[in-house]
Amino acid sequence: MKIITLNANGIRAAQRKGFFDWFAQEKPDVVCIQETKAQLDQLAPDLFIPQGYHFFQSDAVKKGYSGVSVYCKQEPKAVQYGIDWQPFDSEGRWLQVDLEDLTVVSLYLPSGTSGDERQNFKYASMDKLEVVLQRMIDREKPFVVCGDWNIAHKKIDIKNWRGNQKNSGFLPEERAWMTKLFEEFGLVDGFRETDDREEQYTWWSNRGQAWANNTGWRIDYHIASENLKGKVKTAGIYKDERFSDHAPLTLEYDL
């Protein structure tokens, strides 16, 4: 099963940059998008819903902000919009599809870069997600939570780690939480199952020459349940074209 995740930084902008042409070439089973920045009624089906896919979207109440979506070839048995926590759900940050053998989530974890209020919201979201993830683990059905987690886990996952230790996205508390998910919850960093190289980034700031110099962060993940350990066959970050300030992250699973 081939699954792609991308923070599109505006699905309409990504479409203009050729994302859906690439999507058609890749023939994925599931695609998770974050930061759609568009309401469902703003997306013309012929441009935004490739033939042969079921499409679901969770919009933010605020127009032009956040939002997540999922495309899947297989018709889901169930679709869940949000985690039943209004502050989080009103921003369109969680969309879950239950397929035959796998649950897939498109997640957009809040950023804390704009100040203390949003950083505190990010921490609160992390606490809520622990409960949700534990519930999913207890179900014992394999799952993958794809998306922009807005945290670089280790020094290997960020170019300028020294200069970012006091910045949201690389704070000790955030990194410790990711470690907790992997070590205590038994979750799996899908990309690292097959690729342990340095400088494998998924996001580059638009400031300066970040893209040209590969001054990036790995903040987009496939975080999978423990029963998918060893099931990742390939993992790749697509950088030949730029659809967004993030790059698509593609993993293939042997289910």
Catalytically active residues, by annotation: 148
Integer Cα distance of 77 and 107 in angstroms: 19
Integer Cα distance of 101 and 144 in angstroms: 11
**Tokens at residue 151, please?**
């945290």
Q: Which helix (H) or strand (E) holds 11?
A: helix 11-16
Handedness of CA 23, 24, 28, 30 (dihedral sign): positive
- 148 touches 34 (CB < 8 A): yes
Integer Cα distance of 222 and 104 in angstroms: 10
Provide the terminal-to-terminal Cα distance of the chain, rounded to the nearest Å.
7
Close Cβ partners of 125 (under 8 Å, ≥ 6 residues apart): 88, 93, 109, 110
Close Cβ partners of 162 (under 8 Å, ≥ 6 residues apart): none
Integer Cα distance of 152 and 165 in angstroms: 11
Distance of CA 59 to the CA centre of its chain: 15
* 3-class secondary structure, 33: strand
* 3-class secondary structure, 9: coil
